Amino acid sequence: MAILNNIRKHGIFLIIIIALALFSFVLSGVIGSGNNTPKGENNIATVNGVEIPRETFMKKVETTQRSLGSNGQTTQAMNIVWERELRRVILEEQYETLGLTAEKAQINNTLSTVLAGSPTFQNELGDFSELKLQEYIANVKAIADAGNPQDYNAWLEYEKNIINSSLENNYFNLIKGGLITTLEEGKQDYHFQNDNVNIEYVQIPYTKIADEDVAVSDTEIGSYIKAHSKEFEVDPQVDIQYVSFPEDPSVEDIEEAKNNIAELIEDFKATTDNSEFVNANSEYPYTDRWFLKSDLPVNIADTVMSININEVYGPFKEGDTYNLVKVFETRQMADSAKARHILIRFAGLSNVPDNVVISKEDARVLADSILGVVKKDISKFDALAAQYSEDSSNKDKGGDLGYFTPGRMVKPFNDYIFDNKTDDAGVVETDFGFHVIVIDDQKNIQKAVKLGNIVKKIEASEKTINEVFSKATKFEIASKKGDFTELATEAGLTPSPVNKIGELDANIPGIGENRSVVSWAFNEETNVGDVKRYNINNGYIIVQLTRKNPKGLLSIAEASARVTPILRKEKKAKLIRESITSADINEVATSQNVTTKTANAINMANPTIAGAGTEPKVIGTAFGLKVGETSRLIDGVNGVYMVKVLAINNAPDVQDYSTFANQLNAKNSSSVNVNAYNALKNAADIQDNRATFY
C-alpha cells in the first residue's frame, strides 16, 4: 500500500530517480566489467572442494517451494534444499572414497518394493511387474522425445534418488557392520547394569558458601571461554532496533468512512434487489443464506434479530470496517437437524471414479424409484442405503448423517433439510449426485433472518499516507545524525529491539518475513549505528544496526550466565577442600557440621544417590574402591563428597551374554546413521554463500 501510494504521489520524481539509477547501474557494469566478481558469485557453497552451482540450487529451491504449497516460504524451501545438497555432497565423497556403487539388482529390488502399491506398475494379479515398469519408462521417454520432457525428467530424478538411497543404505550398513557388539562388551554392559555397591558418604553442599562470598571476574570468564572455545563458538550475529510508522487511518479518516457508508442507508432501505446492491457497494459479496441469532456477532445479534423488515442497522464499527445490515426476510427455522440419505452418483461428475458409468438420466430414475419405495415403507431405508448408496462413510449405518447445523452441507442439500419438515422425504441434486433424503428430526425452531451486509474497510486517506511518509522520512534523516533512542522518545515512539539475528534468518519478530533488513544489517558496508527506512505492508519501519558480531566466541557478557555458576562452583569446591584436613569420613562430617549417610544398591547405570542427587563422578569413584576403603575428597555436582564402600554386590555371571550384546548392539545401531553423518558434517570444510543470494 505504501509503495503504490508513493508512486501515485511522487510519480515524476520517481521516474527521474529510476532513470538515474538505471544509468548508474549500466555505467557501473561497464566500469566494473573486469575481475571484480564477488567471491562465491557463481556458487551457493563449496563443500570439501565440491562446488554447488547457484543456478542449479535456485531451481531446486523453486521446485521445492512449489511443492510446499501456497504458504511455503523461500527461506523454508532454501533450508530444505541446503540440507539435502549438503548431505548429498558429503556422502558422495564417502562413496567415491570407498568405491561404493549401487548394483542394478539392488536398484530394481528397491523399485519393486517402493512401486508395488501403484496400479501403474501392477499386472493383472495386482503384483509388481518389471514389464509394466519398462513400458512406463519407454512411454515417458517417447513423450520426451516428442518435445515434452517433464515426466521423463521427473523419472530420471526419481531414479537418481533411489540410487542415492541405495548407496546411503550400503554406506551406513558398512558402518554398522564394523560396530557389532562383542560378547565381552555384552558382559561389561550386564555388570554395568547389575553390579551395585553400598556406601557411606558425607556431602558438604556448595550452598554452605553464599554466592556473594565467591567473586567471579570477567577475566576469569574470558579465560574459561578460551579454554573451552568449542562450547562457545557462535555464527555471525547482529542486533537491531526499529520504530514503526504504520499507515493507520486517522480520526478524520474513520469519521469520513462512517459518513460515506451512512450515505447508502436510504438507498439500501429502498432497493428491492438486495444481493445486487450489496455486491455493488460492499467489500464482500452477498451471502444467500438464513442466519440464526447464534450466527451473528454477539454485539449486534439482539439488535439485528429485533429490527423490522427492510430496516437498516448501522453504521457500526467491526474491527477495521464499518457495516450496514438490512433484514429483508424472516422465518422460523431449526438450529440443527438430523437426516439420512442415499447417494446415487453418475458419470460425468468431477469427483467420481472411472468405474461409475450410469448416466445422469438413469441415476435420476433410480433415485426416484428408491424414493417411491421409501415413501411407502420407511423401514426399508437402511437396506436400500446399504445396497445403493455410494457414500461409504455412512451407507452401512442406514445413511445416517447425525445432527448438523445450517450451512454445514452443500446448499441444495442444506436448503431441503431446513426448508422442509420432519419426516419429509425427497430427491435433491448436488455436485455429488442425487440424494434420496429423509428428515428425521429438527431441533430448536426459532427466528431466522435473511440479511444483506455492506462492509466498507476503513482506510488511511491520501493525506494521512503523505503525513506518515513525511514523518518516517524526517525521522530517518534525523536519526542518521542524532541519537536514535532519544529521537524516538521525543516523537512518542518506543524502539523495538531484536537481538541475535543470524545471517540466514528471515522472520524478524514484530516485522515478519523480511530478508532485506537482514541482508542490509550483514552487508560489509553497513556499520553499527547506521539507519535505514524500509517499506512494510502497512507503512514503514526505520531500522538501526546496534551490534554486529563476526563469527567467533560469545562475548563475556553473553557467556556470563553460563560460565559464572561453573567457576563459582569450582571456587566453592576449592574453599571446602581447603577447610578439611582429615582423611577420616566421620571427622570430616563433624568438622563441617554435617552427618554421614548411607546409600545402598547404587549402580553405574543410574548414578543417583538418594538425598544427594545425580552424582556420576562420586559413584564412579566408589566403584573403584575396595570394601572398607575411603575415597579422597570428590568435587561432585551438588557438593564436595567423601565416600566409604561398605559392600560390593557383584551380579552373578551368566553362561551366555549374547542377549545383552544384542541389546547393546540394537541400542547403538539406532543412532549410527545420525551420529555418523553429523560427524562427517562437523568435519567438513563448508564455505556457505547462501546469504549472498537470499
CATH number for the domain spanning 614: value is: 3.10.50
pLDDT digits (tens, 9 = 90+) for 571-592: 999 999 999 999 999 999 999 9
Burial class (CB in 10 A: 0-12, 13-18, 19+), 197: buried
Pair 433, 342 in one domain: yes
On whether both 342 and 407 belong to a single domain, the answer is: yes
Structure confidence at residue 195 (pLDDT): 94
Q: Considering 443, 472, 505, which residue would you say is the last residue of a domain?
A: 443
User: Which has more confidence, 7 or 176?
Assistant: 176
* Portion of the chain with pLDDT greater than 90, in percent: 64
Cell of 314: 448501522
The answer to the question of residue 456 being in a domain is no
Collapsing DSSP to helix, strand or coil, 407 comes out as coil
Query: What are the angstrom distances between the C-alpha of 339 and each of 387, 395, 442?
Result: 18, 13, 9
Interacting residues of 497 by C-beta distance below 8 A, sequence separation 6+: 239, 240, 241, 546
Distance CA 629, CA 627 (A): 6
Q: Kindly state whether residues 259 and 300 are assigned to the same domain.
A: yes
Sign of CA dihedral 517, 521, 524, 525: positive
Residue 140 has pLDDT above 90, yes or no: no
Average confidence (pLDDT) over 626-651: 96
- 41 — pLDDT class (breaks 50, 70, 90): low
Co-location of 299 and 350 in the same domain:
no
Q: Which residues contact 214 (CB under 8 A, 6 or more apart)?
A: 568, 571, 572, 575
Range of the structural domain that residue 141 is part of? 100-177
pLDDT in tens, 63-94: 888 888 877 888 888 999 999 999 999 999 99
Task: Please identify, among 524, 550, 576, the residue that sits at the C-terminal boundary of a domain.
Answer: 550
Q: What band does 620 get if pLDDT is binned at 50, 70 and 90?
A: very high
Residues 505-555 have pLDDT tens digits of 988 999 988 999 999 999 999 999 999 999 998 899 999 999 998 888 888
Instruction: Catalogue the E-assigned strands of 7-94.
Output: 43-47, 50-53
Whether residue 39 is contained in a domain is answered as: no
Q: Left (φ > 0), alpha (ψ -120 to 50) or beta: where does 312 sit?
A: beta
Instruction: Tell me how many helices (H) and strands (E) the chain has.
Output: 25, 24
What is the rounded average pLDDT of the residues 624-640? 96
Identify whether residues 541 and 573 lie together within a single domain: no
Q: Are residues 329 and 340 located together in one domain of the fold?
A: no
Question: Do residues 430 and 478 share a domain?
Answer: no
Same domain for 314 and 289: yes
Q: Let me know whether 388 and 348 are in one domain.
A: yes
The neighbouring-strand residues paired with 453 are: 325
356 and 427 fall within a common domain = yes
pLDDT of residue 350: 76
- Count other C-beta atoms under 10 Å from residue 119's C-beta: 7
Q: Are 546 and 604 in a shared domain?
A: no
Domains contained in the chain, number: 5
Q: What is the pLDDT of residues 368-419, one digit of tens each?
A: 999 999 999 999 999 999 999 989 889 999 999 999 998 889 999 999 999 9
Give domain status of residue 558, yes or no. no
Residue 469's pLDDT is: 95
Task: Flag whether pLDDT at 596 surpasses 80.
Answer: yes
| The domain boundary residue, chosen from 550, 583, 608 | 550
Position 590 in a domain? yes
Choose among 440, 455, 99, 19: nearest CA to 257.
Answer: 455
To 10 degrees, what angle do helices 2-9 and 11-31 make? 100
The pLDDT-based confidence of 14 (bands split at 50, 70, 90) is very low
Q: What is the pLDDT of residue 110?
A: 85
- d(CA 600, CA 502) in angstroms, rounded, equals 50
For residue 679 the three cell numbers come to 560427524
**Shared-domain flag, residues 503 and 533:** yes
What pLDDT score was predicted for residue 12? Answer: 42
Minimal CA–CA distance to 325: which of 334, 316, 333, 336?
316
The reply to whether 54 falls in a domain is no
Q: What is the pLDDT of residue 42?
A: 87
Q: Is residue 694 part of a domain?
A: no
- Tell which wins on pLDDT, 101 or 569: 569
Q: Provide the sign of the torsion angle of the four alpha carbons 282, 288, 290, 294, taken in this order.
A: negative
Q: Is residue 24 part of a domain?
A: no
- Please indicate, yes or no, if residue 326 is contained in any of the structural domains: yes
